[in-house]
Structure 1
């Protein structure tokens, strides 16, 4: 069986886990292409206007997999219990996808992670494995290997980002969800732009996720969304080691708009640039803002010497 995985949203967080899990069960995986203008336009066509840019891109990636696989994997992730809830779009993503593409030649498979309903992640993947014809032991073994591979990959990523802190150049913590940071069309140009300005981007997802939950409490104790709490934890971790902070948000993300405003009000000792990504063509405006932001930081550092 060939399983398609949209290269959007939680792909950048969990793709190692997903690909390893399906491979261990004997299935082939195929990811959709990197985001481009065609995929963005397709996503805008299939999504309602109120969807955030990241959700629109997801539907574009789903459409790109039509006819190229036996089924498309779209997980439904509601919450991780006391650790926090996900944005409601992640809980509804499978249902939105199945309804949006009804009548198309696309089959969907899912797993349902919902600790509040006593369905933890491991159980969700075991049930997915059973639905694909594996035995319970095979599914359990596949998940354990997949989780170990994901954990190893994530720890390596943390080490790589932490190594950048030893660089003598200006360091910028880029605070954003991984699906925005690493998207080839909306996030990567910003990371490259920072590097072209002779500065070092530090990615906010390079944190121990459990520790980040705890660290987030030093900034705010009342954020319900688990992924935004992780971003706060990243600010707490890297705050003293960076020269500035960029908040990277896809329009019109509700959780980010609320949390970013709180960050701007509470973090006063580091320059902050709030970048809002939308579907308009061209990055000229963003490039100008990046250049000005980093120039200001550079001038301040030189003035202190």
Structure 2
């Protein structure tokens, strides 16, 4: 008889936002977590083969991670996220994800929780139901959730504090990365861009790491009608860090609807700082991206030189 229930977690999409919450919750319930590996060529190919053409690259990558986990765990975690309250919604992909996966991989046992605050479906209630489905004692589930939630919050605060310290030190160029964490840190999407920036002696500053409550509030300075929560948290970092950054790079995957609208809004409304919009698709080569990044960095450096000359004059 097997000692532990195994939970598969795809290393894609919301994993990058909730990894400490998820992994510690299941560990406290004495479950074994199995992560898919970082995105590679096979995962990308399997994801493309398992998706409709109209899906964004990020969603295709997610499906590739699901394909990898088939047969390797008792359950695979696929949450359904709708919204966090009035005017606090997320991309419909996160609402539909459970159904998409269920109808694509019919043989897989899925574990899920709902977050839809407009209909009184909270994260807390979802985790309690999820623990019950795993056959765990309610008190044990409560303790596991509270501990995992505390770890998640502490990690977020730690990362935000470290970045606040970093951005105010040193004289290297600092570029703000406006990108969902599942794109920024994915091996096939943001990783090559970040590594190339670092090779040019650039310090990347991550919008997703900043204090989300503060950045969500500051997003109103760009738009007071925007309702995509994750996008608000990102673009608010522009005003949060505006005095310390030398440029902004937007990274999104083709054809993301929310990003295409929100990034274009920022490109039109934000003045006084160089910006570049990088859209990655499944056919994108690193050479083309590197050429654009080099050109963008050259623009920033020339701008800084011109500013210094103006000050001297």
Quick check: TM above 0.5? yes
> Residue deviations 1:9-42, cap 9 Å, x none?
0000001100001111110101101001111111
Stretches of structure 2 that go unaligned for 5 or more consecutive residues are 309-313
Q: Contact (CA 8 Å) 1:46, 1:56: kept in 2 or not? A: yes
How far apart are the structure 1 equivalents of 2:250 and 2:15? 21
- Residue in structure 2 matched with residue 243 of structure 1 by the alignment: 246
Is 1:255–2:258 an aligned residue pair?
yes
Determine which of 277, 294, 297 is the counterpart of 1:294. Answer: 297
CA-CA distance at 1:163 after TM superposition: 2.5
Determine which of 35, 58, 63 is the counterpart of 1:59. Answer: 63
CA RMSD after TM alignment? 1.0
Q: Contact (CA 8 Å) 1:83, 1:213: kept in 2 or not? A: no
How far apart are the structure 2 equivalents of 1:13 and 1:76? 14
Q: Contact (CA 8 Å) 1:80, 1:116: kept in 2 or not? A: yes
* Length-normalised TM-score, structure 1: 0.97
CA-CA distance at 1:83 after TM superposition: 5.7
Determine which of 19, 27, 48 is the counterpart of 2:31. Answer: 27
Determine which of 180, 192, 195 is the counterpart of 1:192. Answer: 195
SS of match in other structure, 1:239: coil
Is 1:268–2:291 an aligned residue pair?
no
- Residue in structure 1 matched with residue 84 of structure 2 by the alignment: 80
> Residue deviations 1:87-114, cap 9 Å, x none?
1010111111011111x4x211101111
How far apart are the structure 1 equivalents of 2:95 and 2:137? 27
> Which region of structure 1 is more displaced relative to structure 2, 5-14 or 149-158?
149-158
SS of match in other structure, 2:271: coil
SS of match in other structure, 1:17: helix
Runs of 4+ with >4 A deviation = none
SS of match in other structure, 1:268: coil
How far apart are the structure 2 equivalents of 1:298 and 1:147? 42
- Residue in structure 1 matched with residue 311 of structure 2 by the alignment: none
CA-CA distance at 1:206 after TM superposition: 1.4
- Residue in structure 2 matched with residue 14 of structure 1 by the alignment: 18
- Residue in structure 2 matched with residue 5 of structure 1 by the alignment: 9
How far apart are the structure 2 equivalents of 1:223 and 1:241? 25
> Residue deviations 1:249-273, cap 9 Å, x none?
1110000000011100110110000
How far apart are the structure 2 equivalents of 1:161 and 1:68? 37
> Residue deviations 1:36-55, cap 9 Å, x none?
11111110000101111000
CA-CA distance at 1:135 after TM superposition: 2.1
How far apart are the structure 2 equivalents of 1:131 and 1:21? 14
How far apart are the structure 2 equivalents of 1:265 and 1:304? 23
Determine which of 115, 131, 137 is the counterpart of 1:135. Answer: 137
Q: How is 1:203-214 mapped onto 2 (pairs within 5 angstroms)? A: 203-214=206-217
Q: How is 1:171-190 mapped onto 2 (pairs within 5 angstroms)? A: 171-190=174-193
Q: Contact (CA 8 Å) 1:206, 1:234: kept in 2 or not? A: no
How far apart are the structure 1 equivalents of 2:287 and 2:166? 27
Q: Contact (CA 8 Å) 1:44, 1:57: kept in 2 or not? A: yes
Equivalenced residue count is: 303
Stretches of structure 1 that go unaligned for 5 or more consecutive residues are none
Aligned CA distance change for structure 1 residues 214 and 281 (closer, same or farther; 3 Å) = closer
Determine which of 104, 119, 122 is the counterpart of 2:121. Answer: 119
- Residue in structure 2 matched with residue 95 of structure 1 by the alignment: 99
Q: How is 1:144-155 mapped onto 2 (pairs within 5 angstroms)? A: 144-155=146-157
